[in-house]
Structure formats: C-alpha cells, structure tokens
C-alpha cells in the first residue's frame, strides 16, 4: 500500500511505510508534514503515526555539535603533531607522536559515531 507525503515544497510518493520511516529518520519528512495512506481520505501529521513517532529523527543537538568539535580537535591535534614531528628536538618529536596518537583516537571516535545507524525494524 502506498503513501503520499505533503510538505511545504510539494508532495512525494512512497511505496511502503518503511520507506516513509527511512525518509523521516533522514530528515526528508518532518514531524509537521502530512501523510496520506492510499485508500484513505484523511491527511495525518507524520508525528501522529505510531511507526514514525517511534523513529529517531537525525541528531542535530549535542551529538552534532560533538562531531563538529571532534573534527576541529583532530585538525588542531594533527597540525600541532606535524609541527612538533618536523622539529629538530627529539623530545618535541616524541610529543608530536603522542599528539598524533591522540588525533588518531579522536578520528576513530568520529568514524565509529558516524557509522552508527539505527537498526531497521520489520513492521
């Protein structure tokens, strides 16, 4: 059974509710957008549909800011590490290697947090 979603920009068609849910979690369908199931005549807000209300919208709060801060921290650590590693002092080179290891830890955290996806549900 198909679904139509009405947004301020226009209407889109989706073949299943799972497709609407995926669009909702990706931010393509907002909670205030209206959804119409084929065969029905009543438009409903996306947030009033239980399957969509349970879905997690994209993170724009603290996690989004944390990832931006992580990218900035990785850039600063990388630049400082490179500068120290290219210096003439062995003690500074050692400090540069420590900073490079810290940068690799930040980059690993960013990679893992970006790769996390909500598990698909079978409705």
Confidence of residue 60 (pLDDT cuts 50, 70, 90): low
Does any domain span residue 121?
Answer: no
State whether 48 and 66 are in the same domain.
no
- Indicate yes or no: pTM above 0.85: no
Closest CA to 84 of 74, 70, 94: 94
For 19-57, what is each residue's pLDDT tens digit? 998 888 888 888 899 999 998 989 999 989 888 888 765
CB atoms within 10 A of CB 14: 18
User: Residue 86 falls within a domain, yes or no?
Assistant: yes
Q: Do 38 and 66 have their domain in common?
A: no
Look at the block and give the residue holding tokens 């139509």: 4
50, 17 in Cβ contact below 8 A? Answer: no
Same domain, 44 and 69: no
Range of the structural domain that residue 47 is part of? 3-54
Is residue 115 very low, low, confident or very high in pLDDT (cuts 50, 70, 90)? confident
Cα(73)–Cα(105) distance, integer angstroms: 11
């Amino acid at each position: 059974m198909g679904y139509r979603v009405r947004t301020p920009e226009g209407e889109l068609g989706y073949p299943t509710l799972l497709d609407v849910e995926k669009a909702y979690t990706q931010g393509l369908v907002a909670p205030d957008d209206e959804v119409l199931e084929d065969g029905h005549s009543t438009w409903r807000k996306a947030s009033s549909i239980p399957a969509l209300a349970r879905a997690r919208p994209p993170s724009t709060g603290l996690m989004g800011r944390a990832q931006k801060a992580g990218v900035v921290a990785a850039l600063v650590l990388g630049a400082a590490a490179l500068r120290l590693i290219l210096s003439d002092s062995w003690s500074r080179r050692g400090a540069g290697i420590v900073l490079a290891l810290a940068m690799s830890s930040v980059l690993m955290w960013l990679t893992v947090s970006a790769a996390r996806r909500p598990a698909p549900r079978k409705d």
